[in-house]
Chain A
Amino acid sequence: MTVARKSRSSGNWWTVYGGPLLIGVLSVAGLLSALLSEGPGRYFSWLALGAPVALTVWFFARRKRD
C-alpha cells in the first residue's frame, strides 16, 4: 500500500505532525543538553535549537511565488 501512496499532502498523521514532532524532540534535546553537559552539550544545543530558525529560513527561501 505504501507503493500506491500518492502525494505527500494526502493527509496522514505522519505527514502532518512528523516534521513538527521531529523539530520538537530536537528542541527538547537541545534544551536539556546544555544543562547536562557544559562542553559538547552546549554545542549540540546551539545546533538543535537553531534548527527551528534555520528550517524557517529554508522554507522561506524555497517558497513558491504565484
Chain B
Amino acid sequence: MVHTWSSLISTLFLLLLCITGLPLIFHHEIDELLGYDPKPEIAQPGAVKRSIDEIARTALANDPGRVLQYILWDKDEPNTVVAFTNNKVDGDPDAATLRAYDAHTAKPLGSVGGGPMLIFLKLHVDMFAGQPGKLFLGAMGFLFLVAIVSGVVLYWPFTRRLSFGTLRDKSRRIAWFDWHNLLGAVTIAWALVVGATGVINTLAEVMLSQWKANEIADMVKPYAGKPPPVHRASLDTTIERARTTAPGMNISFIAFPGTPFTSSHHFAVFMRGDTPLTSRLLKPVLLDGETGEVSDARDLPVYLKVLLVSQPLHFGDYGGMPLKIIWALLDIMTIVVIVSGLYLWIVKRRKHRSHAIAGQPSLQPSR
C-alpha cells in the first residue's frame, strides 16, 4: 500500500524530473555546443589579468541601469570572469543577467546560460512556479524515497522464490514485473542518493535565509544598523585581503552588499579549496563594504556544508564524462522502473475490475 501510493502520487513528477534531468547531466556540453558557454580568447604569453574593478565597470557599462550582485570565477575556466547583474541587489534571481568577461582583456564574451537548457533547468527545479514549486518537487522527491524504501520491503515476499536477476518472458506482465524488480534493485543506492540530495537542494533558499538570519547576523553584530556602503571599497583590495585571510584557497565568488549571500553592509568573498571535496566546501570572508577591511571569517554551518557536498552527488558532474554517461544510463534505468511500476499497477487494476482471468499466472507474494 505504501509503495503503491507513494509511487503513484509522485509518478508524473518523477518522470518529469528524470526526463528533464537527463539532458541536464550534459548541460555544460550542450550549452557549449549551442553557444551559451562563452570561451575566453587565447591569452598572449605573459599577459596580465585585468583588475576586477575594471571588469566590474565594464559589466555595469554593458548593462546600464543595473547593479552588480556577484562576480564568479569558474574552477574550470580560469580565464573568464562571470558577472551577475540585476535590477536590484536583492532582485529576483530569474531577472539576473550573467555575462562572461575575458580575464585578460575585460572584453565581454557573451551571456552565460539561457537557451533551451534553461527551460529544462526551470522545469526540473521548480516547474516555473518559484519557491512553492521547488518545495513541492522536494515533497515529491521525498515520496520517491518512501517508494524506494517500501519497495525494498516488498522485494522480499515477491522475489524470495526467484534468484537475483531472473528475467522471464512468460507474459508481458511478468516480463515487466521482473524488469521492475531487477532495475529497481540494482539502482537502489544511486536513486536514494540522487533523490535525497535533490530533496536537500530544494531547501537551499530556506538554509540560506537561516544562515543569514543567524550566522551572518552574528558575524556583523558590530555593524548593526549601519547603512549600505556609499562609496564601495576597491574590489581588488577586498579580494586580496580575503585571500590573505584564507591562505591556500582560491576565490569562488564575491557577493555584493545587500545580496542574499551577505549583509547589507558587507562584501562576502567565498573561498574554495582545490580538491574535489574542498572545492565544494566554501569558506566565507566578510569584508566591510566601504573600507574593504576583514570583519570576520567562519566556516559554514553543517547544514550548508551538507548542501554544498550534496550538489555534485545530485548533478553527477564530478567524475568526468564517463561518470556523466553512467549517470544518464542509471537515470534511464530509473525511468524504466517508474514506467513499469505504473504499467503493473494499471494491469492489476484492470484485472481486479474484470475479475481474475483463469489460468493467468498471478504475481502474488509467495509465503
Which A residues fall within an 8 A CB radius of B? 8-9, 11, 15-20, 23-25, 27-28, 31, 34-38, 41-42, 45-46, 49-50, 52-53, 55-56, 58-60, 63-66
Q: How far is the CA of A4 from the CA of B277 in the complex (A)?
A: 50
Residue contact A34 to B318, C-beta cutoff 8 Å: yes
Q: Which residues of B contact A42 (CB under 8 A)?
A: 319-320, 323
Residue contact A66 to B168, C-beta cutoff 8 Å: yes
Residue contact A9 to B333, C-beta cutoff 8 Å: no
Residue contact B329 to A53, C-beta cutoff 8 Å: yes
5 contacts between A and B (CB under 8 A): A9-B163, A31-B313, A45-B319, A52-B187, A58-B165
Known contacts A36-B276, A36-B277, A9 near B162 by CB under 8 Å: yes
Q: Which residues of A contact B329 (CB under 8 A)?
A: 53
Residue contact B156 to A17, C-beta cutoff 8 Å: yes
Closest 6 CB pairs of A and B: A19-B164, A11-B160, A34-B319, A24-B189, A59-B165, A52-B186
Residue contact A28 to B189, C-beta cutoff 8 Å: yes
Residue contact A35 to B320, C-beta cutoff 8 Å: no
Q: How far is the CA of A9 from the CA of B275 in the complex (A)?
A: 46
User: CB within 8 A of B326: which of A46, A58, A60?
Assistant: A46
User: CB within 8 A of A35: which of B185, B277, B333, B366?
Assistant: B277
Whose C-beta in chain B lies nearest to the C-beta of A53?
B329
Q: Which residues of A contact B319 (CB under 8 A)?
A: 34, 42, 45-46
Whose C-beta in chain B lies nearest to the C-beta of A42?
B319
Shortest A7–chain B CB gap in Å is: 8
Known: A31-B190, A59-B165. 12 other contacts (CB 8 A): A9-B162, A11-B161, A17-B156, A20-B186, A23-B188, A31-B193, A35-B276, A35-B313, A45-B323, A55-B165, A56-B183, A64-B168
Q: Which residues of B contact A35 (CB under 8 A)?
A: 276-277, 309, 312-313, 318
- Interface residue? B322 (CB, 8 A): yes
Q: How far is the CA of A58 from the CA of B329 in the complex (A)?
A: 15
Q: How far is the CA of A45 from the CA of B169 in the complex (A)?
A: 33
Shortest B80–chain A CB gap in Å is: 22
User: CB within 8 A of B186: which of A56, A64, A65, A66?
Assistant: A56
- Interface residue? B304 (CB, 8 A): no
Residue contact B193 to A28, C-beta cutoff 8 Å: yes
User: CB within 8 A of B167: which of A17, A46, A60?
Assistant: A60
B 296-321 binary contact with A (CB < 8 Å = 1; else 0): 00000000000001001100001110
User: CB within 8 A of B155: which of A16, A23, A25, A27?
Assistant: A16
Q: Which residues of A contact B276 (CB under 8 A)?
A: 34-38, 41
- Interface residue? B170 (CB, 8 A): yes
- Interface residue? B182 (CB, 8 A): yes
Shortest B164–chain A CB gap in Å is: 4
User: CB within 8 A of B161: which of A9, A38, A53?
Assistant: A9
Q: Which residues of A contact B169 (CB under 8 A)?
A: 63, 65-66
- Interface residue? B131 (CB, 8 A): no
Residue contact B156 to A16, C-beta cutoff 8 Å: yes
Q: Which residues of B contact A8 (CB under 8 A)?
A: 163
B 154-182 binary contact with A (CB < 8 Å = 1; else 0): 01100111111101111000000000001
Q: Which residues of A contact B320 (CB under 8 A)?
A: 42
- Interface residue? B330 (CB, 8 A): yes
Whose C-beta in chain A lies nearest to the C-beta of B313?
A31
Residue contact B170 to A66, C-beta cutoff 8 Å: yes
Residue contact B312 to A59, C-beta cutoff 8 Å: no
Shortest B324–chain A CB gap in Å is: 11
Shortest B28–chain A CB gap in Å is: 16
Known contacts A15-B163, A15-B164, A27-B190, A52 near B333 by CB under 8 Å: yes
Q: How far is the CA of A11 from the CA of B320 in the complex (A)?
A: 40
User: CB within 8 A of A27: which of B164, B165, B182, B189?
Assistant: B189
